[in-house]
């Protein structure tokens, strides 16, 4: 219900021309007791990816973080990462860019055999096992950015590079947030939408986690975001948070 997922209250937007990290700022706001804020920046000077990796965030991107306080157990929070991936995929497609989702948190554009990274998502949270205190969903979109200014090894792309012209960032951000807000209030619908855009399902993959490597066919996704893999020795389930790398085989 709307109340359960905390949709009732309006959101405010805090805009920065330049900031170290919108996620760090949103976490600080959470620590001050704030909720329902979108922190948005044109440039980040200390953007972060998962596992403390760097996230390059030159001027022209859409770098944003959504802070909210859903009434859900901690274990359900990964569904918000999936919701963000679906939201940004829909907004990209509306902007004419055929994006797809690579589990767990990348939005990519396929060029022949290579997949180029358009978006990264970083979800952070704090709270008790039975109820999160806050969730920050950080979404980094290479919007009007030259991929030559991004790290090569990541095979980056951008909305402007794919379209051949800049995107209206205001309109794009608005559509992205509308979709995200609708999805985060209706977590049951997220998985079906996610499957529709997934590039990972039906493929042979190798997933590395801190404790093991799992190889097999990615057959499905499970609430709140785990990947189901059929291996030679049976079905394995890898949670999104455990994934360090996923490679197609």
Q: Residues interacting with ligand BT5, by CB under 6 A? A: 21-23, 44, 47-51, 53-57, 63-65, 105, 117, 120-122, 138-140, 142, 150-151, 153-154, 156
Exposure pattern of 110-124 as b/e (b: 16+ CB <10 Å)?
A: eeeeebbbbbbbbbb
Parallel, antiparallel or unpaired: strands 114-128 and 106-111: antiparallel
Q: Say how far apart CA 49 and CA 18 lie, in whole Å.
A: 18
For the bound state, the minimum distance from the C-beta of residue 20 to ligand BT5, rounded and expressed in Å, comes to 8
* Identity of the residue, 150 or 193, whose beta carbon is nearer to ligand BT5 in the bound complex: 150
* Identity of the residue, 23 or 173, whose beta carbon is nearer to ligand BT5 in the bound complex: 23
Q: Which two tokens stand for residue 16?
A: 């920065």
For the bound state, the minimum distance from the C-beta of residue 95 to ligand BT5, rounded and expressed in Å, comes to 17
Find out whether 168 and 178 touch, Cβ atoms under 8 Å. Answer: no
For the bound state, the minimum distance from the C-beta of residue 62 to ligand BT5, rounded and expressed in Å, comes to 8
* Identity of the residue, 23 or 185, whose beta carbon is nearer to ligand BT5 in the bound complex: 23
CB atoms within 10 A of CB 213: 10
For the bound state, the minimum distance from the C-beta of residue 54 to ligand BT5, rounded and expressed in Å, comes to 6
Find out whether 137 and 128 touch, Cβ atoms under 8 Å. Answer: no
* Identity of the residue, 4 or 174, whose beta carbon is nearer to ligand BT5 in the bound complex: 174
For the bound state, the minimum distance from the C-beta of residue 2 to ligand BT5, rounded and expressed in Å, comes to 26
* Identity of the residue, 117 or 169, whose beta carbon is nearer to ligand BT5 in the bound complex: 117
Find out whether 198 and 246 touch, Cβ atoms under 8 Å. Answer: no
Q: Residue of minimal CB distance from ligand BT5? A: 120
């Amino acid at each position: 219900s709307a109340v359960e997922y905390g949709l009732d209250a309006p959101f405010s937007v805090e805009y920065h021309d330049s900031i170290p990290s919108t996620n760090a700022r949103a976490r600080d706001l959470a620590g001050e007791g704030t909720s329902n804020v979108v922190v948005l920046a044109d440039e980040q000077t200390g953007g972060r990816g998962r596992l403390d990796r760097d996230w390059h965030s030159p001027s022209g991107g859409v770098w944003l973080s959504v802070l909210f306080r859903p009434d859900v157990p901690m274990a359900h929070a990964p569904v918000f990462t999936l919701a963000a991936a679906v939201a940004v995929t829909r907004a990209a497609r509306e902007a004419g860019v055929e994006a797809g989702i690579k589990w767990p948190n990348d939005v990519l554009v396929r060029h022949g055999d290579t997949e180029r990274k358009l978006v990264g998502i970083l979800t952070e949270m704090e709270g008790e096992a039975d109820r999160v205190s806050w969730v920050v969903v950080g979404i980094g979109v290479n919007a009007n950015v030259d991929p030559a200014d991004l790290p090569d090894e990541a095979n980056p792309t951008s909305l402007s590079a794919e379209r051949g012209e800049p995107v209206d960032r205001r309109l794009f951000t608005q559509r992205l947030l509308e979709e995200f807000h609708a999805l985060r209030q209706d977590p049951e619908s997220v998985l079906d939408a996610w499957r529709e855009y997934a590039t990972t399902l039906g493929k042979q993959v190798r997933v590395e986690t801190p404790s093991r490597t799992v190889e097999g066919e990615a057959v499905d996704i499970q609430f709140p975001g785990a990947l189901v893999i059929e291996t030679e020795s049976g079905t394995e389930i890898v949670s999104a948070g455990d994934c360090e790398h996923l490679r197609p085989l």
